[in-house]
């Protein structure tokens, strides 16, 4: 069978010396011989787990393991080949992106293809082994869409008639345990399921192994659904920003020739982009409703929605309202959303939506005038000081009288930079047990520092509800432009003084 990519051949040849060195007989090879021994009455899961641990411990582990596994999968002994495929799947689940990238190269895929192809080993390979390889490759096209060579190799097998139809991934196949996941993963989030899975996999009862396989697949489906939501959110944010940017540029061009009629072709394009923006608004609401538990991601959605809404309003101001043009997303906007729109539009980050709190008024209804705030005597906390820009959090002496669980902070921004700082936006998020609201800032630009005049300061009031009186934590993102360069700075503040020390009742 022709190799699908000649460049891969050159890469393989160039890597040959390193492969030979990495493939020297050692612990990995001994473990693999033990795990795939056809004389074993059953799968040696402990040994298979050690293989994946060894692969992860060695920088050349993925390359060495795949070379050894390729040889085992091509074994004329059916039991040895099938056990090698089980080891392969264990490594796929446990050995991470480096292993996935190596298995997604034609150098390894061609080894599997040889077992299927009648031109090579397909004439004496058993149907069980060939069926299992097809099943494995098909599952990889589903779970690893980023590895395009796997998809290409599988499609080539279908085109040549070696694979007649996509296999059905049956439930009674014994799959290896799942790979280690981040702490936020569903595999770790549900301790009971994790314990159950561990117990089932250690069992020698075939029914328990089948139950473990079903549980793994159920967890993987949950994670796939979660990944699909993330993908939808990222695509929606990207489309909203792209549409807003296109509309901004076209409207800016219209402003440059103010008074002149817009040519019909240009007007039609403009109307088409506007219509696309209108259609995006329900999508933004949908992805926002799927992201209520992730404050940072939700803030990104609101930022994109705010930018899109503002430019759609600008379109209406200049060209007149269109039908079905009202903002029906139900998403909150930044306080600047109704302000006059500049020809070059900065990305305005709206405040995070507040949660319902056990107070007489929700944060959404609260507004504390800056000039009514009395600051505590405790010193402010500096949360950012780079690029000539300094950000500090000051603490109000008194809580909100109508909602004692809500405290008031004041952000102050000042610059010692010799150049102006523009498009300043501060965004904040707090743990789920709390809620935060950012009132409008007093400005978004700081002039170049002049030692002969009083320094300019931007102030912004933050309302922070903490009904459980948990230790305060705040994550922030500070956006600004300086010397025609955009900055996005992130950080976390945990060294707050205890609220009882701020003063007041």
CATH code of the domain covering residue 401: 2.60.40.1230
Does 287 share its domain with 329? yes
Give yes or no for a contact between 435 and 481, defined as CB atoms under 8 angstroms apart. no
**Average pLDDT of 400-409?**
86
Q: Apex CA 141: angle with CA 197 and CA 80, to 5°?
A: 65
Give yes or no for a contact between 298 and 288, defined as CB atoms under 8 angstroms apart. yes
CATH of the domain at 148: 1.25.40.90
Does 335 share its domain with 400? no
For residue 432 the two structure tokens come to 């789920």
For residue 412 the two structure tokens come to 């102050």
Does 153 share its domain with 24? yes
- How many helices (H) and strands (E) would you count in the chain? 14, 8
Is the per-residue pLDDT at 504 higher than 70?
no
Least confident residue range of 91-105, 129-143, 190-204:
190-204
The count of C-alpha atoms lying within 13 angstroms of the C-alpha of 407, restricted to the half-sphere facing its C-beta, is 25
3-class secondary-structure state, position 327: coil
Give yes or no for a contact between 304 and 331, defined as CB atoms under 8 angstroms apart. no
Is the per-residue pLDDT at 14 higher than 70?
no
Does 42 share its domain with 171? yes
User: How far is residue 368 CA from its own chain's centroid?
Assistant: 35
Cα separation, 413 vs 398, whole angstroms = 22
What is 347-378 written as a DSSP string?
Answer: -PPPPPPPPP-SSSS-GGG----GGG--B-SS
Average pLDDT over the chain, rounded to an integer:
76
**Average pLDDT of 415-442?**
88
For residue 70 the two structure tokens come to 């390729």
- Of 350, 379, 395, the domain-final residue: 350
Give the pTM: 0.35
- Of 350, 382, 398, the domain-final residue: 350
Does 220 share its domain with 272? yes
Does 209 share its domain with 175? no
- CA-wise closest residue to 423 among 346, 340, 333: 346
Does 297 share its domain with 169? no
Residue 1 placed within a domain: no
Question: What's the longest Cα–Cα distance across the chain?
Answer: 89
Q: How many residues does the chain have?
A: 505
- CA-wise closest residue to 80 among 113, 125, 50: 125
Residue 126 placed within a domain: yes
Q: What is the 3-state secondary structure (H, E, C) of 388-455?
A: CEEEEEEEECCCECCECCEEEEEEEEEECCCCCEEEEEEEEECCCCCEEEECCCCCCCECCCCCCCCC
Is the per-residue pLDDT at 152 higher than 50?
yes
Does 30 share its domain with 149? yes
Residue 356 placed within a domain: no
**Residues ≥6 apart with Cβ < 8 Å to 34:** 44, 47
**Average pLDDT of 264-285?**
81
Buried b or exposed e, range 352-387, using 16+ CB within 10 angstroms: bbbbebebeebbeebebeeeebebbeeebbebbeeb
Cα separation, 43 vs 81, whole angstroms = 13
Residue 116 placed within a domain: yes
pLDDT in tens, 220-251: 777 767 777 777 788 888 888 888 888 887 77
Is the per-residue pLDDT at 170 higher than 70?
no
Residue 357 placed within a domain: no
pLDDT number for residue 347: 35
**Average pLDDT of 54-83?**
89
Residue 278 placed within a domain: yes
CATH of the domain at 267: 1.20.58.160
pLDDT number for residue 421: 92
Residue 339 placed within a domain: yes
Least confident residue range of 81-95, 175-189, 314-328, 379-393:
175-189
Say which residue the tokens 């930018």 belong to: 307
pLDDT in tens, 486-499: 888 888 888 788 77
Could you tell me the residue range of the domain that residue 173 belongs to? 6-180
Cα separation, 242 vs 226, whole angstroms = 24
How large a percentage of the chain has pLDDT more than 90?
13
Residue 67 placed within a domain: yes
Rounded to 10°, the helix 6-22/106-116 angle is 100
Does 406 share its domain with 482? yes
The DSSP secondary-structure symbol of 58 reads S
Domain tally for the chain? 3
Say which residue the tokens 């659904």 belong to: 225
pLDDT in tens, 330-384: 444 433 333 333 333 333 333 334 334 444 346 777 888 888 888 888 888 899 9
Does 342 share its domain with 454? no
3-class secondary-structure state, position 224: helix
Query: In which element (H, E) is residue 486 found?
Result: strand 485-493
Phi-psi region of 65 (alpha: psi -120 to 50; beta: other; left: phi over 0): alpha
Give yes or no for a contact between 147 and 102, defined as CB atoms under 8 angstroms apart. no
Does 199 share its domain with 148? no
- Of 129, 162, 180, the domain-final residue: 180
Beta bridge partners of 153: none
Does 204 share its domain with 164? no
Query: In which element (H, E) is residue 81 found?
Result: helix 78-94
**Residues ≥6 apart with Cβ < 8 Å to 242:** none
Cα separation, 206 vs 41, whole angstroms = 13
- Sign of the torsion angle spanned by Cα atoms 464, 466, 472, 477: negative
- CA-wise closest residue to 410 among 443, 378, 438: 438
Identify which has the larger pLDDT, 337 or 202: 202
């Amino acid at each position: 069978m022709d190799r699908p990519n000649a460049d891969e051949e050159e890469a393989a040849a160039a890597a040959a010396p390193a492969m030979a060195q990495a493939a020297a007989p050692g612990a990995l090879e001994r473990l693999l011989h033990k795990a795939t021994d056809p004389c074993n009455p059953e799968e040696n899961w402990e040994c298979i787990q050690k293989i994946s641990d060894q692969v992860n411990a060695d920088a050349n582990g993925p390359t060495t393991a795949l070379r050894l596994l390729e040889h085992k999968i091509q074994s004329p002994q059916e039991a040895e080949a099938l056990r090698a495929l089980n080891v392969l799947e264990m490594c796929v689940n446990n050995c991470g992106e480096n292993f996935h990238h190596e298995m997604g190269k034609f150098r390894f895929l061609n080894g599997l293809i040889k077992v299927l192809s009648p031109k090579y080993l397909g004439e004496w390979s058993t149907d069980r082994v060939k069926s299992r390889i097809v099943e494995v490759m098909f599952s990889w096209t589903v779970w690893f869409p980023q590895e395009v060579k796997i998809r290409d190799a599988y499609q080539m097998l279908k085109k040549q008639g070696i694979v007649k139809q996509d296999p059905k991934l049956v439930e009674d196949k014994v799959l290896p345990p799942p790979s280690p996941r981040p702490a936020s993963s569903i595999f770790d989030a549900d301790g009971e399921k994790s314990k159950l899975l561990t117990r089932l996999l250690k069992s020698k009862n075939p029914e328990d192994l089948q139950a473990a396989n079903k549980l793994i697949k159920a967890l993987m489906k949950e994670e796939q659904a979660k990944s699909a939501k993330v993908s939808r959110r990222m695509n929606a944010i990207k489309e909203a920003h792209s549409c807003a940017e296109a509309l901004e540029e076209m409207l800016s061009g219209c402003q440059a020739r103010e008074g002149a009629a817009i040519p019909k072709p240009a007007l039609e394009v403009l109307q088409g982009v506007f219509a696309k923006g209108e259609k995006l608004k329900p999508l933004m609401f949908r992805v926002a409703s799927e992201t209520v538990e992730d404050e940072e991601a939700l803030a990104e959605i609101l930022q994109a929605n705010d930018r899109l809404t503002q430019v759609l309003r600008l379109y209406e101001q200049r060209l007149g309202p269109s039908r079905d043009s009202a903002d029906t997303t139900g998403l909150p906007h930044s306080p600047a959303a109704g302000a006059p729109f500049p020809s070059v539009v900065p990305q305005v980050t709206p405040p995070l939506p507040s949660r319902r709190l056990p107070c007489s008024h929700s944060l959404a209804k609260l507004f504390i005038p800056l000039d009514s705030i009395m600051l505590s005597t405790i010193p402010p906390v500096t949360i950012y000081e780079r690029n000539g820009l300094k950000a500090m959090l000051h603490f109000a002496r008194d809580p909100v009288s109508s909602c004692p669980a809500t405290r008031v902070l004041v952000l102050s921004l000042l610059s010692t930079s010799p150049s102006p700082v523009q498009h300043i936006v501060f965004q904040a998020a707090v743990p789920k047990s709390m809620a935060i609201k950012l009132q409008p800032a007093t400005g978004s630009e700081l002039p170049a520092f002049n030692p002969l005049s009083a320094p300019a300061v931007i102030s912004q009031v933050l309302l922070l509800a903490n009904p459980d009186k948990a230790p305060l934590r705040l994550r922030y993102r500070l956006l600004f432009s300086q010397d025609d360069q955009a900055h996005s700075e992130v950080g976390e503040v945990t060294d707050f003084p205890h609220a009882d020390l701020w003063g007041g009742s």
